[in-house]
Amino acid sequence: MTDPRSCAVHQPNFFPRSATLAKLFQADVWVVLDDVQFNARDYQHRARLAPLHDPAAQRWLTVPVHRPQGRASRIAELRLADPDTSRRRVAQLVRQYYGRGPHWACVRDAVDEVLAALALTDRVADVAEVSTRALLAQLGWRGEVVRSSALLSSDERSARLADLAAAVGADTYLCGRGGARYLDEAPFAARGLTVRYPPQPELAGKDGMRTLSSLWAFAALGSAALRDELTAAVPV
């Protein structure tokens, strides 16, 4: 009998929010949804930063992108519009906000990985994926990462997610609060999959935290304390 295996499907996010990170942290497999249409209003190429003393005073850290297919461009097709400027902006802004934080070392290590990625590739999806992997590694996550573009799946939204979960051998699909508004559980049941809606960590419900990058939490709390908080949200 094989061990239970959970799966989360989520677009690559640039320094993701704590609720997104919590969902991925609970999953055994993260399927990076990189072959869907890019949404400039979302978080694939940008993150919100805020001072440690005032998490509601947020500003965007944005990596400018080039869309080769215009508005129809998929996430995997995005390219960095100005890699050198992006590297400088990421290094300067993150240090400006969190360089004096009590746990700056946690943030610095993750940012260094992103700066290295920005120097090696112009693929936005790769850079965003690296930023998430770096933060998950800080939490001690040892799961598997697979890209949806490497898997076959249906076109219909819920059936597609069920196909992706089945393709990686999962028996449980973790659905976040946003997905819960539209998810149809029937395709999952048809494939013998269970859908679970993991609760958000307490931190995600505080003022400003819904939109704020989890970099703030790493700088303010440190990776060990943040891991404890995310673990506390996991159902027993």
Confidence of residue 4 (pLDDT cuts 50, 70, 90): confident
Q: What is the pLDDT of residues 162-189, one digit of tens each?
A: 999 999 999 999 998 888 888 999 999 9
Q: What is the mean pLDDT of residues 92-102?
A: 96
Q: Please report the pLDDT score of residue 177 as a whole number.
A: 83
Q: Is residue 224 part of a domain?
A: yes
Q: Please report the pLDDT score of residue 151 as a whole number.
A: 93
Q: Is residue 142 part of a domain?
A: yes
SS3 state of residue 127: helix
Contact 65, 46 (CB under 8 A): no
Q: Is residue 55 part of a domain?
A: yes
CA 84 to chain centre: 23
Q: Is residue 89 part of a domain?
A: yes
Q: Is residue 1 part of a domain?
A: no
Q: What is the mean pLDDT of residues 70-78?
A: 94
Confidence of residue 203 (pLDDT cuts 50, 70, 90): confident
**pLDDT surpasses 50 at 1:** no
Q: Is residue 43 part of a domain?
A: yes
Q: Tokens 């061990």 correspond to what residue? A: 3
Q: Please report the pLDDT score of residue 232 as a whole number.
A: 75
- DSSP class of residue 150 equals G
Q: Which domain holds residue 102?
A: 6-232
Q: Is residue 92 part of a domain?
A: yes
Note the pTM of the prediction, 2 decimals. 0.94
The percent of residues in the chain predicted with pLDDT above 90, rounded, is 83
Number of domains the chain is built from: 1
**pLDDT surpasses 80 at 207:** no
Buried b (16+ CB within 10 A) or exposed e, 32-49: bbbbeebeeeebbbbbbb
**pLDDT surpasses 70 at 2:** no
Q: What is the mean pLDDT of residues 133-153?
A: 95
Average confidence score pLDDT of the chain? 93
Q: Is residue 88 part of a domain?
A: yes
